Amino acid sequence: MQATEPLRQFLQATRSAGLRVSAAEGIDAARAVRLVGYADRTVLKDTLALVLAKTPDEKALFDECFDLYFKRDGFASNDSVAAGDAASPQAQAAGGGEGTGSGSGGSLGEMLLTDDRVALATAVEQAARDADLENIRFFTQRNLYARRVLDRMGLRGVERDMASLRRAAIASATAQADLLEERIERLREQVRDLVDRNLLLFARGETEKFREELLKSARLTNLERRDLDRMRVLVRAIARKLATRYAKPRRRKLRGQLDVRRTLRRNMAWDSIPFVTVWKQKRIEKPRVMVLCDVSGSVAAMAQFLLMFLYALHEALADIRGFAFASSTIEVSDILEAEPIETAIAKIMQTIGYGSSNYGNSLADFEGGWGRYVTNKTTLIILGDARGNRTNPRIDVFQAIAARAKRVIWLNPEYRTAWGTGDSDMLRYRPFCHVATVCNTLRHLERVVTDILKDGA
């Protein structure tokens, strides 16, 4: 086994934990390890930290991964430092075949009877590699991998030997079998501990991805409080990805359409013979968006996520103006720009949120105060369930606003089967919307905002 194998596994573990380690940084880490070696764990940790950890958050991740991965003292006795060191990655690099204990290189039964913990530690590491323990991904695989490791160490043979000793019905043989059974149980505990540590190291990335996919598809109104922090991280990550992709105005070529006027001008030096052709291009501008968020009690949770998403996207869009409404409408753009996101959302909800909704009055407030800013370049996004508690929905006001806007998108957290039932006026608003769709998950929200940016709304 090459001496770089422990480092390769460690880099895999750090990537799984979310540490950004490029191929070049991996090469630098390998060169550094060749210089300092594995003998002094403190020097090794400081050296790798300088190469791999670039931010305070990454430093914390690195420390956690290092301490977990290089913990190799499971078989060491309390007063034996050497035994703990023998199970280090330096011992792994030796391939497990040249231990320093009396039972090194012997059978599992011999190592257990002599209690050679150095040799046992080396044998466990070798068996873990043979069992591909780094491929563990789910907690349900723990027992499977633990048994694989033990089988590759030769446990089945020891179990057969124990059965033979007990059948002999000799006191000394029975005592030896009891001793083996006791030490096998201790071995199982150490192997289970190794499997659990590898699960934490190598399965974290897959587990996080699985959890994120579930959260993206879950209804925002059904999320538990413990999920909110993770959702905020997901919202910011999606927003950063979209902002990076659409941050600048883009040009899209209209293939096959020759710009005759510019072509003639470009070729005046050749008597307008079109040696150089110029093709028409369409400039895709950043979208101008106005957002009306229903923050009444029925959709308050959904509104918080939309405000959070648009807060993170403000650099990607040329002009965002945010409004919140329940029974009346207020502009919240200044709050979103001036305050941290958690503070801004709490302030908005405290000011106008959680009340009873009155869509007609809120639309009239918006038209009277800000309607003049709705032009043929404006995309108007409305988030709400269109339930106005049987008040006048003011369809006339909404129709006037929609007629001036470039596009009106209504995101309703209710399923379509609920539209128009009870006090819902959604079916009355829908004819004046360019898009009216269900939006009650983060995946829905991401798709809608992506389409807005893609189309240059």
192 Cβ neighbours under 8 A, 6+ residues apart: 142, 146
What is the arithmetic mean of pLDDT over 250-272?
Answer: 72
Element (H, E) at 407: strand 407-412
- The answer, yes or no, to whether residue 399 has pLDDT greater than 50, is yes
Quick check: 419 and 445 in contact, CB under 8 A?
no
Whole-number Å distance between alpha carbons of 193 and 337: 49
366 vs 255, more confident: 366
Q: Output the pLDDT for position 102.
A: 34
**Choice among 118-122, 161-165, 211-215 with the minimum mean pLDDT:** 211-215
Backbone torsion region of residue 394, taken as left when φ is above 0, otherwise alpha when ψ lies between -120 and 50, otherwise beta: left
Percent of residues, the chain, with pLDDT higher than 90 = 18
SS3 411: strand
Pairing, β 319-325 against β 250-258 = unpaired
DSSP conformational letter for 287: P
Whole-number Å distance between alpha carbons of 95 and 162: 29
SS3 225: helix
* pLDDT grade for 87, boundaries at 50, 70 and 90: very low
Residue 64 backbone phi and psi in degrees, to 5: -65, -45
Closest C-alpha among 335, 452, 433, 336 to residue 386: 433
86 vs 338, more confident: 338
Closest C-alpha among 381, 378, 371, 314 to residue 344: 314
Strand order from edge to edge, sheet including 435-438: 329-331, 319-325, 288-294, 378-383, 407-412, 435-438
- The answer, yes or no, to whether residue 181 has pLDDT greater than 70, is yes
pLDDT tens for residues 196-249? 887 877 766 666 666 677 777 777 766 666 666 677 777 777 766 666 665 544
Pairing, β 279-284 against β 407-412 = unpaired
Q: Count CA atoms closer than 13 A to 199's CA, side-chain side.
A: 15
**Terminal-to-terminal C-alpha distance of the chain:** 58
65 vs 90, more confident: 65
* pLDDT grade for 2, boundaries at 50, 70 and 90: very low
Whole-number Å distance between alpha carbons of 75 and 82: 11
pLDDT tens for residues 8-21? 878 877 877 777 78
Pairing, β 435-438 against β 407-412 = parallel
Highest mean pLDDT among 102-111, 187-196, 325-334 belongs to 325-334
pLDDT tens for residues 350-388? 898 888 899 999 999 999 999 999 999 898 989 889 999
Whole-number Å distance between alpha carbons of 368 and 372: 8
Closest C-alpha among 284, 244, 241 to residue 454: 284
Element (H, E) at 445: helix 442-454
Q: Output the pLDDT for position 142.
A: 84
Apex CA 175: angle with CA 173 and CA 176, to 5°? Answer: 65
Q: For the domain bounded by 286-454, which CATH number is listed?
A: 3.40.50.410
Quick check: 19 and 66 in contact, CB under 8 A?
no
* pLDDT grade for 80, boundaries at 50, 70 and 90: very low
446 vs 417, more confident: 417
Q: Output the pLDDT for position 315.
A: 54
Q: Output the pLDDT for position 314.
A: 62
Whole-number Å distance between alpha carbons of 401 and 429: 12
Q: Output the pLDDT for position 228.
A: 66
- The answer, yes or no, to whether residue 109 has pLDDT greater than 80, is yes
Residue 428 backbone phi and psi in degrees, to 5: -85, -30
Residue ranges, comma separated, of all CATH 3.40.50.410 domains in the chain are: 286-454
- The answer, yes or no, to whether residue 190 has pLDDT greater than 70, is yes
Burial of 180 (0-12, 13-18, 19+ CB in 10 A): buried
Q: Output the pLDDT for position 454.
A: 66
Q: Provide the residue type at 87 as one letter.
A: A
What is the arithmetic mean of pLDDT over 170-183?
Answer: 87
Q: Cβ atoms within 10 A of the Cβ of 297, count?
A: 13
**Choice among 197-201, 327-331, 398-402 with the minimum mean pLDDT:** 197-201
Structure tokens at 46: 């400081």
pLDDT tens for residues 311-324? 666 655 656 788 99
* Cα–Cα distances in angstroms (integers) from residue 455 to residues 158, 219, 284, 448, in the given order: 68, 26, 8, 11
Q: Output the pLDDT for position 91.
A: 39
Whole-number Å distance between alpha carbons of 93 and 6: 7
- The answer, yes or no, to whether residue 162 has pLDDT greater than 50, is yes
Residue 379 backbone phi and psi in degrees, to 5: -100, 125
How confident is the prediction for the chain on average, in pLDDT?
79
* pLDDT grade for 404, boundaries at 50, 70 and 90: very high
Whole-number Å distance between alpha carbons of 107 and 109: 5
What is the arithmetic mean of pLDDT over 275-293?
Answer: 74
102 vs 414, more confident: 414
* pLDDT grade for 194, boundaries at 50, 70 and 90: confident
Place of tokens 């949120």: 353
Q: Provide the residue type at 65 as one letter.
A: C
Quick check: 180 and 115 in contact, CB under 8 A?
no
What is the arithmetic mean of pLDDT over 305-310?
Answer: 69
Q: Output the pLDDT for position 372.
A: 93
- The answer, yes or no, to whether residue 299 has pLDDT greater than 50, is yes
Q: What is the CA radius of gyration of the chain?
A: 33
283 vs 411, more confident: 411
Q: Output the pLDDT for position 434.
A: 92
Q: Output the pLDDT for position 246.
A: 57
Q: Output the pLDDT for position 389.
A: 92
Apex CA 211: angle with CA 410 and CA 135, to 5°? Answer: 145
